[in-house]
Amino acid sequence: MKRFLEELKYLNSGISNVTKIILAVIVLYFIFGTGGNILTNPMIFLNIAILLLSLLIHEVAHGVMAYICGDPTAKNYGRLSLNPLKHLDPLGTLFPILLILSGSSFIFGWAKPVPINYWRLKYGRLGEFLVAIAGVASNFILAAIGLFLFKYAAPHLGNRYVYAAVIYMIRLNILLGVFNLIPIPPLDGSRVLASLGNDDLRNTIFYMDRYGIIIILLLNMTGVLWRIIAPAYSGILYILEKLI
């Protein structure tokens, strides 16, 4: 716990005071609103495990693609590992866990961004695009794997917990994929946009990283975020169902 708190403080030392206050209020709200959910629903532990695995694979995918495109920075920092301690951001992990504990139907979270040296990437802006889209692609691949298991494997097991876990894996990874495609810094969608735009747009997007979490939280609180995500979520689920 001591190490966790020290890492929490270190990793989030650059966050503005306004952002810290907003996050603290939200965390306290969910802590007092969880009630006995964790004691009455053992699926919560399985859902948290699926969440952590999905966030981990998302970040590893960025690092692997960067390595393929010529930048070994993530590899040199040990970020191609499947060890969760090397990837999980304490705040970005705690927040979605609290959402799960509170019974929220909308879950989002983030891991520590993998270090990328854009100057070392091959293929220019195409390399940037491939690295940016890799995380989202990993979530959609996980959702497709989950859908395949649901259709062809889960029925033979006859276990309700397996069914529930697979369904959660599908829904969560589509949500994470669509959420990360939104072009709000520092989400992957903003990096995709930066790879397609001119230098001024790219610099503006990277500058806005410090304010992105506030924008995202405000959109979520007002319900706008779900109205943005819902159509894309339904569309991607429909496409995956047709392909499998």
Half-sphere exposure of 101 (CA within 13 A, CB side): 18
Cα 74 to Cα 85: distance, rounded to the nearest angstrom: 15
Q: What are phi and psi of 70, to 5 degrees?
A: 105, 0
Half-sphere exposure of 221 (CA within 13 A, CB side): 11
Active site residue 59: yes
Active-site option among 6, 7, 59, 241: 59
**H helices of the chain, where?**
2-11, 17-33, 37-40, 43-68, 73-76, 90-101, 125-152, 154-157, 160-181, 188-196, 199-207, 209-221, 224-243
Cα 130 to Cα 95: distance, rounded to the nearest angstrom: 28
Catalytic residues: 59
